[in-house]
Amino acid sequence: MSNLRFVKQEKSTSAVSSMKVEDCFSADYDIYKVSIFDTQYGPSNTDVASLRVRFINSSGSTIITLYEAMNMNMKADATKDEDKFQDGAYFYSPVNIGNYENAGGMMYIYNPFSSSCHTVMTGEGAGGYDVSSNRGRSSKCAGFCKHLSSVTGIELYSGNASNTFQATVTVHGLRVDS
């Protein structure tokens, strides 16, 4: 029997610049797996849609400050990119959607519902753009939110609002048997 328990799924049915999955974290689990798949690039885009992540607190407000984050993009056509920051406005997501389409990734979210410890995120994914030039990407990311508040959802959004996307996001709780 699997230790993963289905919690919620959201799917964008048209090209969007942001997407929320609300009321998916609760006291039922301490660890959640968030899968992002079935992605499509917005039809009028000319660049990659590099997704960002923010948390939604129990009041329904998006937390837009105090993220500590790091990201590494490994590239098929060039040297890797590394970035990190403190007190930022988002986490990096592991998903870069380009005209390869069907990019995907997964994130693990630790202790989101607890208001007595920081919420931590780790992730990895793959995608790319410009198929003719072999510009595939894989990424690893991690970070934590310095707010001590109960987190009940996440928001995914494009780093550039004009670069739209479609995606399916599935949330599973990780049951730990004793």
Do residues 129 and 135 touch, judged by C-beta distance below 8 A? yes
What pLDDT does 4 receive?
A: 92
Confidence of residue 120 (pLDDT cuts 50, 70, 90): very high
Query: What sign has the CA pseudo-torsion 89, 23, 167, 120?
Result: positive
Residue 32, pLDDT above cutoff 90? yes
Give the range with max mean pLDDT: 70-74, 76-80, 103-107, 121-125.
121-125
Whether the pTM exceeds 0.75: the reply is yes
Confidence of residue 45 (pLDDT cuts 50, 70, 90): low
Query: What sign has the CA pseudo-torsion 59, 65, 71, 75?
Result: positive
Once rounded to an integer, what is the mean pLDDT over residues 84-109?
Answer: 86
What pLDDT does 76 receive?
A: 75
Mean pLDDT score of the chain: 88
Say which range, 23-32, 37-46, 57-66, has the weakest mean pLDDT: 37-46
What pLDDT does 98 receive?
A: 72
The CA distance from 73 to 89, in Å, is 19
Helix (H, G, I), strand (E, B) or coil at 112: coil
Residue 52, pLDDT above cutoff 90? yes
The CA distance from 77 to 144, in Å, is 30
Q: Is 40 left (phi over 0), alpha (psi -120 to 50) or beta?
A: beta
pLDDT tens column, 126-159: 887 665 666 777 899 999 999 999 999 999 998 8
pLDDT tens column, 3-24: 899 999 999 988 899 999 999 9
